Amino acid sequence: MARYSFKNILGEARIYICNYIVGYIPSHTLRLWYYRNIMKFQIAQGASIHLGCKFGCTKYFSLGKNSTINQNCHLDNRGGLFFGKNVSVSARCAFITADHIMESSTFEGRGREVTVDCFVFIGYGATILGGVILGRGSVIAAGGLINKSTEAYGIYAGVPAKKIKTRSSALNYTTNYKRLFH
């Protein structure tokens, strides 16, 4: 039978409360307070994380100024998950930063950071795997699977995603997006 220390139990409780209670409180103010003060996430001014998002651990997460993560996203931040300014993540996206090495005879686990540069747009239901950098202004189409880093301003679609065209580099917008009950 596994024995858990008081510290382990408190850590697991903090994540449980984050994912199954706080994540469903219809108030950005309360959710962001918990994320910043209890989970120790770095969340900039104007940023928002909408209802139903789930995290993998405390720390190892930052969200830049005016960036938005929409509802029901899976944010596995165990390997590190870092978002720049004015990033827009659509609903039901998944970021996977921890996995196992399939070639390992011991099924060894690993964590691989994901970095999302400024002005990136990620469409509904996209999946981003660990060890990638999403270049400045890149776009990931709905349902896309990113397993390699993207070029700045590239537009990617498919499974696995491939570059289909290039976006204008003259980006000058703010994605500050807070809704009353999201």
User: What tens digit of pLDDT does each residue of 85-131 get?
Assistant: 999 999 999 999 999 988 989 999 999 999 999 999 999 999 999 99
Q: What is the predicted pLDDT for the residue at 162?
A: 98
In a domain, 176, yes or no: no
Judge whether 160 lies within some domain: yes
Close Cβ partners of 104 (under 8 Å, ≥ 6 residues apart): none
- pLDDT for 29 beyond 80: yes
**Closest-CA residue to 126 (of 145, 154, 107, 108):** 145
Residue 159 — pLDDT band, cuts 50, 70, 90? very high
Q: How many domains does the chain have?
A: 1
pLDDT of the residue at 1: 57
Residue 83, pLDDT score: 98
* C-alpha span between 167 and 4 (Å, rounded): 50
Give pLDDT tens digits for 92-102. 999 999 999 88
Is residue 67 a part of any domain in this protein? yes
Is 180 part of any domain? no
User: Which residues are CB-neighbours of 176 under 8 A, at least 6 positions away?
Assistant: 46, 48, 66, 68
Residue 175 lies in a domain: no
Whole-number pLDDT of residue 116: 98
Kindly state whether residue 177 falls inside one of the protein's structural domains.
Answer: no
65 lies in some domain:
yes
Range of the domain at 42: 6-166
* 174 assigned to some structural domain: no
Q: What pLDDT does 52 receive?
A: 97
Query: Which CATH number does the domain housing residue 138 bear?
Result: 2.160.10.10
126-149 pLDDT, tens digit each: 999 999 999 999 999 999 999 999
Summarize pLDDT for 32-80 with one digit per residue, the tens: 999 999 999 999 999 999 999 999 999 999 999 999 999 999 999 999 9
